[in-house]
Structure 1
Amino acid sequence: MASKPKPHRLHQLAGTTGPQSSAKRARTMSTESSSTAMKDAFAKYADYLNHFNEKRERVIKASRDITINSKKVIFQVHRMSRLNKEEVLEKAEKDLAAVINQYISRLVKELQGTDHWKLRRAYSPGVQEYIEAATFCKFCRTGTLLNLEEINATFLPLSDPSLEPLKVNVLDYLLGLADLTGELMRLAIGRISDGEFEYAEKICRFVRDIYRELTILFPLMDDNSDMKMKMDTMLQSVVKIENACFRVHVRGSEYTLLGSSDPSSFLLGLPDSEL
Protein backbone atom coordinates (compact mmCIF):
# COMPACT_ATOMS: atom_id res chain seq x y z
CA MET A 1 0.00 0.00 0.00
CA ALA A 2 1.32 3.50 -0.97
CA SER A 3 2.25 5.76 1.90
CA LYS A 4 0.37 9.02 2.41
CA PRO A 5 2.18 12.30 1.74
CA LYS A 6 3.46 14.03 4.81
CA PRO A 7 1.37 17.02 5.93
CA HIS A 8 4.25 19.54 5.68
CA ARG A 9 4.98 18.39 2.12
CA LEU A 10 1.39 19.04 1.13
CA HIS A 11 1.64 22.49 2.68
CA GLN A 12 4.78 23.27 0.64
CA LEU A 13 3.17 22.04 -2.58
CA ALA A 14 0.07 24.10 -1.88
CA GLY A 15 2.21 27.17 -1.13
CA THR A 16 3.78 27.20 -4.60
CA THR A 17 0.53 28.23 -6.18
CA GLY A 18 -1.08 30.15 -3.34
CA PRO A 19 -1.51 33.91 -2.79
CA GLN A 20 1.67 34.18 -0.69
CA SER A 21 3.84 33.12 -3.66
CA SER A 22 2.16 35.68 -5.92
CA ALA A 23 2.83 38.46 -3.40
CA LYS A 24 6.47 37.41 -3.17
CA ARG A 25 6.87 37.54 -6.96
CA ALA A 26 5.23 40.97 -7.02
CA ARG A 27 7.64 42.25 -4.38
CA THR A 28 10.59 40.87 -6.32
CA MET A 29 9.47 42.53 -9.54
CA SER A 30 8.88 45.81 -7.70
CA THR A 31 12.35 45.70 -6.17
CA GLU A 32 13.95 44.99 -9.54
CA SER A 33 12.02 47.87 -11.11
CA SER A 34 13.10 50.27 -8.35
CA SER A 35 16.71 49.15 -8.70
CA THR A 36 16.62 49.80 -12.45
CA ALA A 37 15.12 53.26 -11.92
CA MET A 38 17.81 54.12 -9.38
CA LYS A 39 20.55 52.95 -11.74
CA ASP A 40 19.11 55.10 -14.54
CA ALA A 41 18.82 58.11 -12.24
CA PHE A 42 22.40 57.65 -11.02
CA ALA A 43 23.68 57.34 -14.59
CA LYS A 44 21.91 60.57 -15.58
CA TYR A 45 23.31 62.37 -12.53
CA ALA A 46 26.83 61.10 -13.30
CA ASP A 47 26.49 62.38 -16.88
CA TYR A 48 25.31 65.74 -15.55
CA LEU A 49 28.30 66.01 -13.20
CA ASN A 50 30.74 65.07 -15.95
CA HIS A 51 29.21 67.65 -18.29
CA PHE A 52 29.20 70.29 -15.54
CA ASN A 53 32.85 69.66 -14.62
CA GLU A 54 33.92 69.86 -18.25
CA LYS A 55 32.04 73.15 -18.65
CA ARG A 56 33.61 74.46 -15.44
CA GLU A 57 37.10 73.73 -16.78
CA ARG A 58 36.33 75.60 -19.99
CA VAL A 59 34.93 78.54 -18.02
CA ILE A 60 38.05 78.66 -15.82
CA LYS A 61 40.25 78.65 -18.94
CA ALA A 62 38.26 81.51 -20.47
CA SER A 63 38.42 83.46 -17.19
CA ARG A 64 42.20 83.06 -17.06
CA ASP A 65 42.56 84.29 -20.63
CA ILE A 66 40.39 87.32 -19.82
CA THR A 67 42.49 88.05 -16.72
CA ILE A 68 45.83 87.82 -18.53
CA ASN A 69 44.82 89.99 -21.46
CA SER A 70 42.99 92.54 -19.30
CA LYS A 71 46.18 92.96 -17.24
CA LYS A 72 48.06 93.65 -20.47
CA VAL A 73 45.61 96.47 -21.20
CA ILE A 74 46.19 97.95 -17.74
CA PHE A 75 49.98 97.79 -18.16
CA GLN A 76 49.59 99.47 -21.53
CA VAL A 77 47.65 102.38 -20.01
CA HIS A 78 50.31 102.87 -17.32
CA ARG A 79 52.81 103.70 -20.08
CA MET A 80 50.73 106.76 -20.88
CA SER A 81 52.19 110.27 -20.59
CA ARG A 82 51.25 113.74 -21.80
CA LEU A 83 53.21 113.16 -24.97
CA ASN A 84 51.79 109.77 -26.01
CA LYS A 85 48.36 109.74 -24.31
CA GLU A 86 46.29 109.45 -27.48
CA GLU A 87 48.47 106.77 -29.01
CA VAL A 88 48.56 104.66 -25.85
CA LEU A 89 44.82 104.89 -25.22
CA GLU A 90 43.99 103.94 -28.81
CA LYS A 91 46.20 100.86 -28.51
CA ALA A 92 44.71 99.97 -25.10
CA GLU A 93 41.13 100.34 -26.36
CA LYS A 94 41.94 98.18 -29.37
CA ASP A 95 43.38 95.49 -27.10
CA LEU A 96 40.34 95.75 -24.83
CA ALA A 97 38.04 95.19 -27.82
CA ALA A 98 40.08 92.08 -28.64
CA VAL A 99 39.50 90.79 -25.09
CA ILE A 100 35.76 91.16 -25.65
CA ASN A 101 35.68 89.56 -29.09
CA GLN A 102 38.07 86.68 -28.43
CA TYR A 103 37.69 85.73 -24.78
CA ILE A 104 34.57 87.24 -23.23
CA SER A 105 32.55 86.04 -26.21
CA ARG A 106 33.76 82.50 -25.44
CA LEU A 107 32.75 82.89 -21.82
CA VAL A 108 29.30 84.17 -22.77
CA LYS A 109 28.83 81.22 -25.11
CA GLU A 110 29.61 78.79 -22.29
CA LEU A 111 27.39 80.45 -19.69
CA GLN A 112 24.37 81.63 -21.63
CA GLY A 113 21.28 79.48 -21.22
CA THR A 114 22.67 77.73 -18.10
CA ASP A 115 22.50 78.24 -14.35
CA HIS A 116 25.59 80.43 -14.63
CA TRP A 117 25.36 81.49 -10.98
CA LYS A 118 26.60 77.99 -10.09
CA LEU A 119 29.85 78.80 -11.92
CA ARG A 120 30.30 82.36 -10.63
CA ARG A 121 33.40 81.48 -8.61
CA ALA A 122 34.97 80.06 -11.77
CA TYR A 123 34.53 83.14 -13.97
CA SER A 124 34.34 85.99 -11.43
CA PRO A 125 38.13 86.74 -11.37
CA GLY A 126 38.21 87.28 -15.13
CA VAL A 127 35.12 89.48 -15.13
CA GLN A 128 36.52 91.60 -12.28
CA GLU A 129 39.81 92.07 -14.13
CA TYR A 130 38.00 93.09 -17.30
CA ILE A 131 35.90 95.61 -15.35
CA GLU A 132 39.09 97.01 -13.83
CA ALA A 133 40.68 97.42 -17.27
CA ALA A 134 37.56 98.84 -18.92
CA THR A 135 36.88 101.39 -16.17
CA PHE A 136 40.57 102.36 -16.13
CA CYS A 137 40.53 103.09 -19.87
CA LYS A 138 37.29 105.03 -19.57
CA PHE A 139 38.61 107.24 -16.78
CA CYS A 140 41.85 107.99 -18.63
CA ARG A 141 39.87 108.85 -21.74
CA THR A 142 37.00 110.89 -20.27
CA GLY A 143 37.62 111.29 -16.55
CA THR A 144 34.32 109.55 -15.80
CA LEU A 145 33.22 106.15 -14.50
CA LEU A 146 32.09 103.32 -16.75
CA ASN A 147 28.87 102.10 -15.12
CA LEU A 148 27.36 98.62 -14.96
CA GLU A 149 24.69 99.38 -17.57
CA GLU A 150 27.34 100.36 -20.11
CA ILE A 151 29.32 97.18 -19.45
CA ASN A 152 26.25 94.99 -19.89
CA ALA A 153 25.45 96.85 -23.12
CA THR A 154 28.91 95.79 -24.35
CA PHE A 155 28.11 92.15 -23.57
CA LEU A 156 24.68 92.26 -25.23
CA PRO A 157 25.86 91.77 -28.87
CA LEU A 158 27.72 88.63 -27.76
CA SER A 159 24.54 86.94 -26.54
CA ASP A 160 22.21 84.66 -28.48
CA PRO A 161 19.05 86.72 -29.22
CA SER A 162 16.88 83.67 -28.52
CA LEU A 163 18.20 83.40 -24.95
CA GLU A 164 18.23 85.73 -21.98
CA PRO A 165 21.38 87.89 -22.25
CA LEU A 166 24.19 87.27 -19.81
CA LYS A 167 24.69 90.19 -17.41
CA VAL A 168 27.55 91.05 -15.09
CA ASN A 169 26.84 90.37 -11.43
CA VAL A 170 26.54 93.56 -9.36
CA LEU A 171 29.00 92.21 -6.81
CA ASP A 172 31.57 91.47 -9.50
CA TYR A 173 31.21 95.03 -10.78
CA LEU A 174 31.80 96.49 -7.32
CA LEU A 175 34.78 94.21 -6.71
CA GLY A 176 36.29 95.26 -10.03
CA LEU A 177 35.65 98.88 -9.14
CA ALA A 178 37.48 98.40 -5.85
CA ASP A 179 40.50 97.07 -7.78
CA LEU A 180 40.35 100.12 -10.05
CA THR A 181 41.29 102.40 -7.17
CA GLY A 182 44.64 100.63 -6.80
CA GLU A 183 45.49 101.31 -10.44
CA LEU A 184 44.38 104.92 -10.08
CA MET A 185 46.65 105.29 -7.07
CA ARG A 186 49.63 104.13 -9.16
CA LEU A 187 48.58 106.46 -11.95
CA ALA A 188 48.34 109.43 -9.57
CA ILE A 189 51.81 108.80 -8.14
CA GLY A 190 53.19 108.58 -11.65
CA ARG A 191 51.50 111.82 -12.70
CA ILE A 192 52.98 113.63 -9.71
CA SER A 193 56.42 112.40 -10.74
CA ASP A 194 55.79 113.73 -14.25
CA GLY A 195 54.67 117.12 -12.97
CA GLU A 196 50.94 116.66 -13.64
CA PHE A 197 49.82 117.59 -10.15
CA GLU A 198 46.37 118.88 -11.12
CA TYR A 199 45.65 115.56 -12.81
CA ALA A 200 46.74 113.74 -9.64
CA GLU A 201 44.32 115.89 -7.63
CA LYS A 202 41.54 114.93 -10.01
CA ILE A 203 42.36 111.26 -9.52
CA CYS A 204 42.37 111.75 -5.76
CA ARG A 205 38.88 113.26 -5.79
CA PHE A 206 37.62 110.46 -8.01
CA VAL A 207 39.03 107.70 -5.79
CA ARG A 208 37.66 109.33 -2.65
CA ASP A 209 34.21 109.49 -4.24
CA ILE A 210 34.34 105.78 -5.09
CA TYR A 211 35.45 104.87 -1.57
CA ARG A 212 32.75 107.02 0.03
CA GLU A 213 30.00 105.47 -2.08
CA LEU A 214 31.20 101.93 -1.42
CA THR A 215 31.31 102.52 2.32
CA ILE A 216 27.59 103.28 2.08
CA LEU A 217 26.89 100.07 0.14
CA PHE A 218 29.21 97.78 2.09
CA PRO A 219 26.87 97.25 5.11
CA LEU A 220 24.24 95.96 2.68
CA MET A 221 26.54 93.28 1.25
CA ASP A 222 26.18 90.73 4.07
CA ASP A 223 29.77 91.29 5.20
CA ASN A 224 31.20 89.81 2.00
CA SER A 225 34.76 88.69 2.79
CA ASP A 226 36.15 89.62 -0.63
CA MET A 227 34.69 93.11 -0.43
CA LYS A 228 35.87 93.59 3.14
CA MET A 229 39.45 92.86 2.14
CA LYS A 230 39.26 95.16 -0.87
CA MET A 231 37.72 97.98 1.16
CA ASP A 232 40.76 97.88 3.44
CA THR A 233 43.09 97.98 0.43
CA MET A 234 41.05 100.80 -1.11
CA LEU A 235 41.43 102.92 2.00
CA GLN A 236 45.19 102.44 1.81
CA SER A 237 45.14 103.65 -1.80
CA VAL A 238 43.15 106.75 -0.83
CA VAL A 239 45.61 107.57 1.95
CA LYS A 240 48.62 107.10 -0.34
CA ILE A 241 47.23 109.49 -2.97
CA GLU A 242 46.25 112.10 -0.39
CA ASN A 243 49.64 111.93 1.31
CA ALA A 244 51.46 112.29 -2.01
CA CYS A 245 49.37 115.30 -3.00
CA PHE A 246 49.65 116.86 0.45
CA ARG A 247 53.44 116.56 0.47
CA VAL A 248 53.58 118.49 -2.79
CA HIS A 249 51.42 121.25 -1.30
CA VAL A 250 53.50 121.44 1.88
CA ARG A 251 56.83 121.38 0.05
CA GLY A 252 55.58 123.29 -2.98
CA SER A 253 58.58 125.61 -3.07
CA GLU A 254 60.77 122.57 -3.75
CA TYR A 255 58.70 121.51 -6.76
CA THR A 256 59.11 124.13 -9.43
CA LEU A 257 57.02 122.18 -11.92
CA LEU A 258 54.55 120.61 -9.52
CA GLY A 259 51.60 121.70 -7.44
CA SER A 260 48.80 124.20 -7.77
CA SER A 261 48.79 127.82 -6.63
CA ASP A 262 45.05 127.77 -6.06
CA PRO A 263 44.49 128.21 -2.28
CA SER A 264 41.03 126.68 -2.56
CA SER A 265 42.45 123.30 -3.59
CA PHE A 266 40.46 120.52 -1.99
CA LEU A 267 43.42 119.16 -0.04
CA LEU A 268 44.20 122.42 1.74
CA GLY A 269 42.59 122.97 5.11
CA LEU A 270 41.58 119.35 5.66
CA PRO A 271 41.76 118.15 9.26
CA ASP A 272 44.49 115.65 10.08
CA SER A 273 41.94 112.87 10.50
CA GLU A 274 41.08 113.07 6.79
CA LEU A 275 44.68 112.90 5.54
Structure 2
Amino acid sequence: MKLFNSSSFVKLSIMASKPQQLRPLAGTSRAKRERTITSNSSVSESAESNPMKDAFAKYANYLNDLNDKRERVVKASRDVTMNSKKVIFQVHRIGKQNKDEVLEKAEKDLAVVRDQYVSRLAKELQGTDFWRLRQAYSPGVQEYIEAVTLFNFCKAGTLLDLDGVNAALRPLSNPSMEPLQINIIDYVLGLADLTGELMRLAIGRISDGEVDFAKKICTFVREIYRELTLLAPVMYDSSDMKTKMDTMLQSLMKIEKACFSVHVRGSEYIPPLGSADARFPLLGEDDIER
Protein backbone atom coordinates (compact mmCIF):
# COMPACT_ATOMS: atom_id res chain seq x y z
CA MET A 1 0.00 0.00 0.00
CA LYS A 2 1.34 3.42 -0.94
CA LEU A 3 1.71 5.94 1.85
CA PHE A 4 1.92 8.95 -0.49
CA ASN A 5 0.65 9.47 -3.90
CA SER A 6 2.81 11.07 -6.56
CA SER A 7 1.47 14.61 -6.13
CA SER A 8 1.94 14.67 -2.38
CA PHE A 9 5.47 13.30 -2.72
CA VAL A 10 6.40 16.15 -5.07
CA LYS A 11 5.06 18.71 -2.60
CA LEU A 12 7.07 17.20 0.26
CA SER A 13 10.21 17.23 -1.86
CA ILE A 14 9.79 20.91 -2.68
CA MET A 15 9.16 21.76 0.95
CA ALA A 16 12.25 19.84 2.04
CA SER A 17 14.41 21.63 -0.50
CA LYS A 18 13.40 25.08 0.79
CA PRO A 19 14.05 26.03 4.40
CA GLN A 20 10.83 26.94 6.14
CA GLN A 21 10.59 29.87 8.50
CA LEU A 22 8.27 29.80 11.45
CA ARG A 23 5.90 32.71 11.57
CA PRO A 24 5.36 34.31 14.95
CA LEU A 25 2.00 33.91 16.55
CA ALA A 26 -0.43 36.76 16.41
CA GLY A 27 0.14 39.34 19.04
CA THR A 28 3.75 38.36 19.62
CA SER A 29 6.89 40.05 18.29
CA ARG A 30 10.42 38.77 17.90
CA ALA A 31 12.56 40.83 20.21
CA LYS A 32 16.18 41.36 19.28
CA ARG A 33 18.66 40.12 21.77
CA GLU A 34 20.68 42.99 23.12
CA ARG A 35 24.44 42.60 23.24
CA THR A 36 25.76 43.72 26.54
CA ILE A 37 29.40 44.06 27.54
CA THR A 38 30.38 44.10 31.13
CA SER A 39 32.76 46.59 32.52
CA ASN A 40 35.43 43.95 33.16
CA SER A 41 35.37 42.70 29.56
CA SER A 42 35.53 46.25 28.14
CA VAL A 43 38.57 47.04 30.23
CA SER A 44 40.36 43.88 29.23
CA GLU A 45 39.47 44.35 25.55
CA SER A 46 40.75 47.94 25.48
CA ALA A 47 43.91 46.89 27.28
CA GLU A 48 44.56 44.25 24.61
CA SER A 49 43.67 46.40 21.60
CA ASN A 50 45.62 49.56 22.45
CA PRO A 51 49.13 48.00 22.36
CA MET A 52 48.38 46.37 18.99
CA LYS A 53 47.00 49.62 17.65
CA ASP A 54 50.04 51.55 18.85
CA ALA A 55 52.40 48.95 17.42
CA PHE A 56 50.65 49.07 14.05
CA ALA A 57 50.76 52.87 14.04
CA LYS A 58 54.47 52.84 14.82
CA TYR A 59 55.14 50.32 12.05
CA ALA A 60 53.11 52.37 9.56
CA ASN A 61 55.07 55.48 10.49
CA TYR A 62 58.30 53.53 10.09
CA LEU A 63 57.33 52.41 6.60
CA ASN A 64 56.34 55.94 5.62
CA ASP A 65 59.62 57.34 6.91
CA LEU A 66 61.53 54.59 5.12
CA ASN A 67 59.80 55.36 1.83
CA ASP A 68 60.50 59.07 2.22
CA LYS A 69 64.14 58.31 2.99
CA ARG A 70 64.36 56.03 -0.03
CA GLU A 71 63.10 58.84 -2.26
CA ARG A 72 65.77 61.20 -0.90
CA VAL A 73 68.48 58.54 -1.24
CA VAL A 74 67.52 57.85 -4.86
CA LYS A 75 67.70 61.57 -5.65
CA ALA A 76 71.11 61.89 -3.96
CA SER A 77 72.37 58.81 -5.79
CA ARG A 78 71.33 60.29 -9.14
CA ASP A 79 73.21 63.49 -8.37
CA VAL A 80 76.31 61.47 -7.47
CA THR A 81 76.02 59.52 -10.72
CA MET A 82 75.60 62.59 -12.91
CA ASN A 83 78.49 64.54 -11.40
CA SER A 84 80.78 61.50 -11.29
CA LYS A 85 80.26 61.09 -15.03
CA LYS A 86 81.43 64.69 -15.48
CA VAL A 87 84.69 63.79 -13.72
CA ILE A 88 85.12 60.78 -16.00
CA PHE A 89 84.56 62.90 -19.12
CA GLN A 90 87.11 65.39 -17.78
CA VAL A 91 89.74 62.67 -17.30
CA HIS A 92 89.23 61.46 -20.89
CA ARG A 93 90.56 64.84 -22.09
CA ILE A 94 94.00 63.95 -20.79
CA GLY A 95 96.94 64.11 -23.22
CA LYS A 96 100.67 64.72 -23.37
CA GLN A 97 100.37 68.48 -23.39
CA ASN A 98 97.54 69.02 -20.90
CA LYS A 99 97.94 66.16 -18.42
CA ASP A 100 98.61 68.32 -15.36
CA GLU A 101 95.87 70.79 -16.23
CA VAL A 102 93.25 68.09 -16.83
CA LEU A 103 94.11 66.18 -13.65
CA GLU A 104 94.01 69.35 -11.57
CA LYS A 105 90.56 70.22 -12.91
CA ALA A 106 89.35 66.64 -12.40
CA GLU A 107 90.61 66.62 -8.82
CA LYS A 108 88.62 69.76 -8.02
CA ASP A 109 85.48 68.33 -9.62
CA LEU A 110 85.94 65.10 -7.68
CA ALA A 111 86.20 67.05 -4.43
CA VAL A 112 82.90 68.77 -5.25
CA VAL A 113 81.23 65.42 -5.87
CA ARG A 114 82.50 64.08 -2.55
CA ASP A 115 81.83 67.13 -0.39
CA GLN A 116 78.42 68.09 -1.80
CA TYR A 117 76.69 65.04 -3.24
CA VAL A 118 78.27 62.03 -1.55
CA SER A 119 78.10 63.98 1.71
CA ARG A 120 74.33 64.35 1.32
CA LEU A 121 74.05 60.62 0.70
CA ALA A 122 76.17 59.88 3.77
CA LYS A 123 73.98 62.05 6.00
CA GLU A 124 70.86 60.21 4.84
CA LEU A 125 72.36 56.77 5.49
CA GLN A 126 74.38 57.30 8.64
CA GLY A 127 73.01 55.51 11.67
CA THR A 128 70.69 53.31 9.57
CA ASP A 129 70.77 49.83 8.12
CA PHE A 130 72.57 50.40 4.82
CA TRP A 131 71.46 47.09 3.33
CA ARG A 132 67.79 48.03 3.40
CA LEU A 133 68.46 50.92 1.02
CA ARG A 134 71.39 49.47 -0.90
CA GLN A 135 69.46 49.12 -4.15
CA ALA A 136 68.62 52.84 -3.93
CA TYR A 137 72.16 54.17 -3.52
CA SER A 138 74.29 51.42 -5.14
CA PRO A 139 74.28 52.89 -8.72
CA GLY A 140 75.61 56.23 -7.49
CA VAL A 141 78.28 54.60 -5.33
CA GLN A 142 79.46 52.43 -8.24
CA GLU A 143 79.76 55.47 -10.50
CA TYR A 144 81.71 57.30 -7.80
CA ILE A 145 84.08 54.32 -7.46
CA GLU A 146 84.56 54.36 -11.22
CA ALA A 147 85.44 58.07 -11.24
CA VAL A 148 87.78 58.07 -8.24
CA THR A 149 89.70 54.96 -9.35
CA LEU A 150 90.07 56.26 -12.93
CA PHE A 151 91.44 59.54 -11.63
CA ASN A 152 93.86 57.79 -9.28
CA PHE A 153 95.18 55.54 -12.05
CA CYS A 154 95.82 58.47 -14.39
CA LYS A 155 97.53 60.43 -11.63
CA ALA A 156 99.51 57.75 -9.74
CA GLY A 157 99.32 54.73 -12.03
CA THR A 158 97.94 52.51 -9.24
CA LEU A 159 94.61 51.14 -8.08
CA LEU A 160 92.89 52.93 -5.22
CA ASP A 161 91.77 50.23 -2.80
CA LEU A 162 88.58 50.11 -0.76
CA ASP A 163 90.25 51.34 2.43
CA GLY A 164 91.48 54.43 0.61
CA VAL A 165 88.00 55.19 -0.70
CA ASN A 166 86.35 54.79 2.70
CA ALA A 167 89.05 56.84 4.43
CA ALA A 168 88.03 59.85 2.32
CA LEU A 169 84.36 59.34 3.24
CA ARG A 170 84.72 59.14 7.02
CA PRO A 171 84.92 62.93 7.58
CA LEU A 172 81.56 63.31 5.80
CA SER A 173 79.58 61.58 8.59
CA ASN A 174 78.86 62.46 12.18
CA PRO A 175 81.52 60.81 14.38
CA SER A 176 78.92 59.94 17.03
CA MET A 177 76.95 57.79 14.55
CA GLU A 178 77.92 54.89 12.35
CA PRO A 179 79.49 56.42 9.22
CA LEU A 180 78.67 55.42 5.68
CA GLN A 181 81.22 52.92 4.41
CA ILE A 182 81.18 51.47 0.90
CA ASN A 183 80.95 47.68 0.94
CA ILE A 184 83.11 45.31 -1.06
CA ILE A 185 80.27 44.39 -3.45
CA ASP A 186 79.73 47.95 -4.71
CA TYR A 187 83.49 48.48 -4.88
CA VAL A 188 84.03 45.41 -7.08
CA LEU A 189 81.08 46.32 -9.32
CA GLY A 190 82.57 49.79 -9.72
CA LEU A 191 85.93 48.28 -10.69
CA ALA A 192 84.20 46.20 -13.35
CA ASP A 193 82.80 49.40 -14.88
CA LEU A 194 86.23 51.04 -14.61
CA THR A 195 87.69 48.66 -17.19
CA GLY A 196 85.28 49.98 -19.82
CA GLU A 197 86.47 53.55 -19.26
CA LEU A 198 90.09 52.37 -19.36
CA MET A 199 89.41 50.72 -22.71
CA ARG A 200 88.12 54.02 -24.12
CA LEU A 201 91.09 55.84 -22.63
CA ALA A 202 93.55 53.35 -24.17
CA ILE A 203 92.01 53.65 -27.65
CA GLY A 204 92.17 57.43 -27.40
CA ARG A 205 95.80 57.38 -26.28
CA ILE A 206 96.76 55.09 -29.17
CA SER A 207 95.20 57.49 -31.66
CA ASP A 208 97.35 60.27 -30.15
CA GLY A 209 100.52 58.19 -30.39
CA GLU A 210 100.85 57.31 -26.68
CA VAL A 211 101.33 53.60 -27.26
CA ASP A 212 103.30 53.02 -24.07
CA PHE A 213 100.51 54.45 -21.95
CA ALA A 214 98.01 52.22 -23.75
CA LYS A 215 100.17 49.17 -23.03
CA LYS A 216 100.26 50.14 -19.37
CA ILE A 217 96.47 50.31 -19.35
CA CYS A 218 96.31 46.90 -21.01
CA THR A 219 98.47 45.34 -18.30
CA PHE A 220 96.44 47.06 -15.58
CA VAL A 221 93.09 45.84 -16.96
CA ARG A 222 94.47 42.33 -17.39
CA GLU A 223 95.45 42.21 -13.72
CA ILE A 224 92.02 43.45 -12.60
CA TYR A 225 90.28 40.84 -14.73
CA ARG A 226 92.45 38.03 -13.37
CA GLU A 227 91.77 38.99 -9.76
CA LEU A 228 88.02 39.47 -10.22
CA THR A 229 87.73 36.14 -12.02
CA LEU A 230 88.55 34.46 -8.70
CA LEU A 231 86.17 36.66 -6.72
CA ALA A 232 83.10 36.82 -8.99
CA PRO A 233 81.77 33.25 -8.39
CA VAL A 234 81.40 33.83 -4.64
CA MET A 235 79.85 37.29 -4.79
CA TYR A 236 76.37 38.09 -3.52
CA ASP A 237 75.30 39.75 -6.80
CA SER A 238 76.70 36.95 -8.94
CA SER A 239 74.21 37.49 -11.79
CA ASP A 240 75.03 41.18 -12.14
CA MET A 241 78.73 40.48 -11.75
CA LYS A 242 78.64 37.78 -14.44
CA THR A 243 77.30 40.29 -16.97
CA LYS A 244 79.97 42.80 -16.02
CA MET A 245 82.69 40.16 -16.24
CA ASP A 246 81.67 39.39 -19.82
CA THR A 247 81.79 43.11 -20.66
CA MET A 248 85.16 43.39 -18.94
CA LEU A 249 86.58 40.56 -21.05
CA GLN A 250 85.37 42.27 -24.21
CA SER A 251 87.02 45.53 -23.14
CA LEU A 252 90.29 43.72 -22.42
CA MET A 253 90.24 42.02 -25.82
CA LYS A 254 89.68 45.38 -27.54
CA ILE A 255 92.68 46.90 -25.75
CA GLU A 256 94.91 43.92 -26.57
CA LYS A 257 93.81 43.95 -30.21
CA ALA A 258 94.52 47.68 -30.53
CA CYS A 259 97.96 47.39 -28.91
CA PHE A 260 98.82 44.35 -31.03
CA SER A 261 97.76 46.10 -34.23
CA VAL A 262 99.93 49.09 -33.43
CA HIS A 263 102.85 46.84 -32.60
CA VAL A 264 102.54 44.91 -35.89
CA ARG A 265 102.09 48.02 -37.99
CA GLY A 266 104.99 49.63 -36.19
CA SER A 267 107.29 46.72 -37.00
CA GLU A 268 106.35 46.97 -40.67
CA TYR A 269 106.74 50.74 -40.77
CA ILE A 270 109.60 52.18 -42.87
CA PRO A 271 110.23 55.91 -42.42
CA PRO A 272 110.49 58.14 -45.48
CA LEU A 273 113.84 58.80 -47.13
CA GLY A 274 115.89 61.43 -45.29
CA SER A 275 114.33 60.88 -41.83
CA ALA A 276 116.51 60.82 -38.73
CA ASP A 277 115.13 57.55 -37.26
CA ALA A 278 117.91 55.75 -35.38
CA ARG A 279 116.53 52.35 -36.40
CA PHE A 280 117.21 53.14 -40.08
CA PRO A 281 120.55 54.94 -40.24
CA LEU A 282 120.97 54.34 -43.97
CA LEU A 283 117.98 56.53 -44.69
CA GLY A 284 119.44 59.60 -42.96
CA GLU A 285 120.45 62.71 -44.84
CA ASP A 286 124.11 62.39 -43.78
CA ASP A 287 124.32 58.89 -45.19
CA ILE A 288 122.85 60.03 -48.49
CA GLU A 289 125.36 62.81 -48.88
CA ARG A 290 128.24 60.41 -48.36
TM value normalised by structure 1: 0.82
Supply the distance in 1 between the matched residues of 2:263 and 2:63 (Cα, whole angstroms).
Answer: 61
Of 52, 56, 79, 2:93 maps to 79
Give the Cα separation in 1 of the matches to 2:47 and 2:109: 59
Paired AA for residue 239 in structure 1: M
Matched to 1:246, the amino acid is F
Alignment correspondent of 2:179? 165
CA–CA separation in structure 2 for the residues paired with 1:255 and 1:225: 49
Could you tell me how far apart the structure 2 residues matched to 1:255 and 1:152 are?
A: 51
Q: Contact 2:185/2:236 (CA < 8 Å) preserved in 1? A: no
Q: Which amino acid aligns with 1:164?
A: E
Letter in 1 for 2:50: T
Aligned length: 236
Secondary structure in structure 1 of the residue aligned to 2:218? helix
Provide the C-alpha distance between the structure 1 equivalents of 2:112 and 2:270, rounded to a whole number of angstroms: 41
Q: Separation in 1 of the partners of 2:105 and 2:50?
A: 61
Q: TM-score, normalised by structure 2?
A: 0.78
Cα-Cα RMSD: 1.8
Contact 1:128–1:173 (CA<8 Å) still a contact in 2?
A: yes
1:216 paired with 2:230, answer yes
- Asked if 1 retains the 8 angstrom alpha-carbon contact of 2:185 and 2:237, the reply is no
Aligned to 1:18: none
User: What letter is aligned with 1:209?
Assistant: E
Q: How many percent of aligned residue pairs carry the same amino acid?
A: 68
Indicate if the aligned counterparts of 2:76 and 2:117 stay in contact, CA closer than 8 A.
Answer: yes
Distance in structure 2 (CA, Å) of the matches to 1:42 and 1:165:
30
**Structure 1 residue aligned with 2:202:** 188
Q: Which runs of 4+ in 1 moved over 4 A?
A: none
Q: Which runs of 5+ in 2 are unaligned?
A: 1-35, 272-277, 279-290
Q: How far apart, CA to CA, are the structure 2 residues paired with 1:229 and 1:106?
A: 30
**Which of 81, 86, 94 does residue 67 from structure 1 map onto?**
81
Residues 102, 222 of structure 1: CA spacing in aligned structure 2 closer, same or farther, 3 A cutoff?
closer
User: SS state of the match for residue 160, structure 2?
Assistant: coil
> 1:231 offset after TM fit, Å?
0.5
Map of 1:36 onto structure 2? 50
Q: Which residue of 2 aligns with 1:93?
A: 107
Q: Within 2, Cα distance between the matches of 1:208 and 1:27? A: 76
1:105 corresponds to which residue? 119
Question: What residue is the counterpart of 1:238 in the other structure?
Answer: 252
Choose which of 198, 204, 228 in structure 1 pairs with 2:212: 198
Work out which of the residue numbers 143, 157, 173 in structure 2 matches 1:129: 143
Shift of 1:226: 1.3
Quick one: which amino acid aligns to residue 173 of structure 1? Y
Cα deviation, residue 115, structure 1:
1.1
Instruction: Select the residue among 128, 149, 152 that pairs with 2:166.
Output: 152
> Which ranges of structure 1 fall in alignment gaps of 5 or more residues?
1-20, 262-275
> What does residue range 46-61 of structure 1 map to in structure 2 within 5 Å?
46-61=60-75
Partner SS for 1:251 = helix
Distance between the aligned counterparts of 2:90 and 2:79, measured in 1? Answer: 17
> Residue by residue, what CA displacement relative to the aligned partner does 1:147-197 show, whole Å, maximum 9, x if unpaired?
100001000111211122221011000000010000000000011100111
